[in-house]
């Protein structure tokens, strides 16, 4: 992929190779960049000519002046910090109950204040429109009547909830917490890859990564003017406050988790602690006369706002999946009666359906009469015969995704696929075209990572977290996920992905 540029920038941009520190072992600093390739993808650290981007200058200097041993030591320190905090996941199928940390890359990814300002406006615009859209489709359905979004597309979505028809949602806030996946293309522009509007996770890693990075790179952190992220818990609390029913003078808030077995349990406990509210499981709650209570040592206590990290399907066995033991029987009725607020509302998944995604720019124009600030990725809807014909012709160059899947599953990455895999996907597409979309294979931008003592570029994305309550609140930055396997485009943690800290600079 692209031509290999071996370090011309080093000589072009540095007065001379820095002297090795006395006594430092191992290869010199220049050779640490020996396998750094600049290719077609946008590189977050160097421009196309191989010169370091101005805002990455200090980071480069830090890397050049640190020995391999030093960097390795910092990586060990960082990994230990995650282990000590118990930020781990259990490896299934291992009877020793081995726990691993999520791979963490040491080097921060840096975004300028100007770049962030655009993202901030674009995300605000997008989520505002999405909330108007959700209100509309669950009430009068103007956008459907006017034919801007096909009725069949909405009603055939498996995350569309009939139960929400005509239900009034306090302040019309359906999505109060969103995690929007952005990628940066060759031209340096960020585009939206997908919206996560149900129970987006990962924000605790954004916070934990920052804590650890500050500790292992204190000097570097000081040389930059980085906007803080640590107040996310307070911002989330303020957002949830806006959802509380007005009739309740002193509302009670809880975080609802599926339990310790869930891979994001650490995050649920973390957010509950940050906000100072109880972390409850379904079995701690009960509904009586359409009021939700939790079992406390002082007896039953009424619950007013639930930040739920349980999917719609599992949240109430009486309304949705009857086999769910994670939910609260009767919760949906209490919700419909307006006696409890849920964040996010039920039925928001219809707006992050991968086929509906293609209509988000139209949705923004329809409700806000504005042009979208953040572009979408070009998307083929396989339900459309013309799109389908094109996609089936060009499977080897496209990415095909199942609309209801997430976590990097149910995907065909054309250029990395075998003829057999493409055949199998072709059959699945023809059998159920509504269930698939296709997009061109994107060249995700790459950021410098520490890989086996070498600095090498790896593909990254960015998931900022957008809060929508009394107003839109976005903590600058987000979670940068990185595909640590060389050449891989899949950043999901379930598939060999890791993460790194994201610094948004104050310009």
Partner 1 sequence: MLLSRVADSLYWISRYLERAEHTARVVDVAVDLGLGRGSTRDDGTIDLLYTSLELPISEPGSLAVAAFFDAANANSVLSCITVARENARQAREEISSEMWQQLNGLFLRLKQMRGDASRTPRTHFVSRSVIEGVHLFHGITDATMGHGEGGQYLLAGRYLERAMATARLLDRFMGRAFDGPSPPDQAGLVALLRSCSALEAYCRHYTADVRPERVMEFLLLDANFPRSVRFSASIAESALRSLGRLSGRRAGGDAERLAGRLHASLDYGQVGEILDGEPHLYLTDIGRQCARIHSALYRTYILYSIDTALPA
The 3 state secondary structure assigned to 145-167 is HCCCCCHHHHHCCCCCCHHHCCC
**Among the residues of 262-384, which ranges form H helices?**
265-275, 312-315, 331-336, 360-368
Asked if the bond preceding 344 is cis, omega within 30° of 0, the reply is yes
CA 32 to chain centre: 31
Q: Token digits for 211? A: 């804590």
Asked whether the beta carbons of 124 and 474 are under 8 A apart, the reply is yes
Q: Tell me whether residue 31 or residue 90 sits nearer to partner 1 (CB atom).
A: 90
Q: Is 212 helix (H, G, I), strand (E, B) or coil?
A: helix
* Distance of closest approach, residue 352 Cβ to partner 1, in angstroms: 28
Q: Tell me whether residue 107 or residue 287 sits nearer to partner 1 (CB atom).
A: 287
Q: Tell me whether residue 118 or residue 296 sits nearer to partner 1 (CB atom).
A: 296
* Distance of closest approach, residue 176 Cβ to partner 1, in angstroms: 20
Strands (DSSP E) contained in 299-381 are 299-302, 305-308, 341-343, 375-376, 380-381
DSSP state of 246: T
Q: How would DSSP label each residue in 286-302? A: EEETTEEEEEETTEEEE
* Distance of closest approach, residue 471 Cβ to partner 1, in angstroms: 27
Q: Which residues bind partner 1 (CB under 8 A)?
A: 83-86, 260, 265, 269, 272-273, 277-281, 283-284, 286, 288, 294-301
Q: Tell me whether residue 12 or residue 98 sits nearer to partner 1 (CB atom).
A: 98
Q: Tell me whether residue 279 or residue 350 sits nearer to partner 1 (CB atom).
A: 279
* Distance of closest approach, residue 211 Cβ to partner 1, in angstroms: 11
Q: Is 430 helix (H, G, I), strand (E, B) or coil?
A: helix
Q: Tell me whether residue 325 or residue 389 sits nearer to partner 1 (CB atom).
A: 325
* Distance of closest approach, residue 496 Cβ to partner 1, in angstroms: 25
* Distance of closest approach, residue 98 Cβ to partner 1, in angstroms: 10
* Distance of closest approach, residue 130 Cβ to partner 1, in angstroms: 30
Pairwise CA distance, residues 435 & 357, whole Å: 13
Q: Enumerate the β-bridge partners of residue 34.
A: none
Asked whether the beta carbons of 198 and 344 are under 8 A apart, the reply is yes
* Distance of closest approach, residue 311 Cβ to partner 1, in angstroms: 21
Q: Tell me whether residue 13 or residue 333 sits nearer to partner 1 (CB atom).
A: 333
H/E stretch holding 450 reads: strand 446-451
Q: Tell me whether residue 278 or residue 338 sits nearer to partner 1 (CB atom).
A: 278
Contacts of 242 (CB under 8 A, 6+ apart): 171, 173, 176, 469, 470
Count of Cβ atoms closer than 10 Å to residue 218 Cβ: 9
């Amino acid at each position: 992929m692209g031509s290999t540029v071996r370090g011309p920038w080093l000589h072009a941009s540095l007065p001379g190779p820095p002297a090795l520190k006395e006594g430092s072992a191992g290869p010199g600093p220049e050779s640490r960049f020996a396998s750094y390739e600049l290719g077609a993808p946008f590189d977050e650290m160097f421009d196309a000519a191989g010169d370091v981007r101005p805002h990455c200058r200090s980071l480069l200097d830090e890397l050049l002046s640190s020995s391999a041993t030093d960097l390795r030591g910092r990586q060990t320190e960082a990994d230990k910090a995650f282990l000590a905090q118990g930020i781990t996941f259990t490896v299934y199928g291992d009877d020793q109950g081995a726990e691993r940390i999520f791979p963490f890359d040491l080097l921060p990814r840096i975004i300028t204040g100007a770049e962030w300002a655009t993202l901030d406006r674009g995300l605000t615009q997008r989520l505002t429109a999405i909330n108007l859209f959700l209100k509309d489709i669950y009430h009068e359905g103007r956008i459907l009547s006017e034919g801007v979004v096909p009725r069949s597309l909405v009603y055939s979505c498996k995350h569309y909830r009939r139960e929400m028809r005509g239900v009034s949602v306090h302040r019309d806030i359906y999505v109060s917490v969103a995690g929007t996946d952005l990628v940066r293309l060759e031209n340096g522009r960020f585009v939206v890859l997908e919206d996560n509007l149900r129970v987006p996770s990962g924000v605790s890693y954004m916070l934990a990564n920052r804590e650890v990075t500050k500790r292992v790179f204190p000097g570097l952190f000081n040389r930059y003017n980085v906007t803080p992220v640590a107040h996310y818990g307070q911002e989330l609390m303020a957002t949830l406050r806006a959802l509380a029913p007005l009739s309740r003078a002193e509302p009670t808030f809880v975080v609802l988790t599926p339990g310790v077995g869930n891979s994001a349990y650490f995050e649920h406990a973390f957010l509950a602690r940050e906000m100072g509210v109880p972390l409850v499981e379904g079995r701690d709650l009960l509904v009586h006369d359409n009021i939700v209570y939790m079992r406390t040592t002082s007896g039953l206590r009424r619950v007013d706002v639930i930040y739920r990290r349980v999917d719609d399907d599992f949240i109430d066995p009486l309304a949705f999946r009857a086999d769910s033991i994670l939910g609260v029987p009767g919760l949906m009725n209490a919700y419909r009666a307006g006696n409890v607020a849920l964040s996010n509302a039920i039925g928001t998944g219809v707006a992050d359906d991968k086929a509906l995604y293609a209509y988000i720019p139209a949705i923004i124009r329809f409700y806000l009469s504005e042009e979208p600030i953040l572009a979408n990725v070009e998307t083929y809807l396989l339900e459309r015969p013309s799109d389908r014909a094109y996609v089936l012709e060009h499977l080897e160059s496209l990415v095909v995704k199942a609309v209801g899947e997430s976590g990097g599953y149910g995907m065909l990455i054309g250029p990395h696929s075998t003829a057999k895999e493409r055949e199998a996907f072709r059959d699945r597409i023809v059998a159920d075209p509504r269930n698939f979309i296709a997009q061109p294979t994107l060249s995700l931008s790459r950021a410098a990572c520490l890989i086996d003592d070498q600095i090498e570029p790896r593909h990254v994305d960015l998931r900022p977290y957008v809060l929508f309550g009394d107003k839109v609140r976005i903590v600058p930055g987000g979670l940068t996920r990185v595909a640590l396997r060389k050449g891989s485009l899949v950043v999901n943690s379930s598939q060999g992905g890791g993460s790194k800290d994201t610094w948004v600079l104050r310009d």
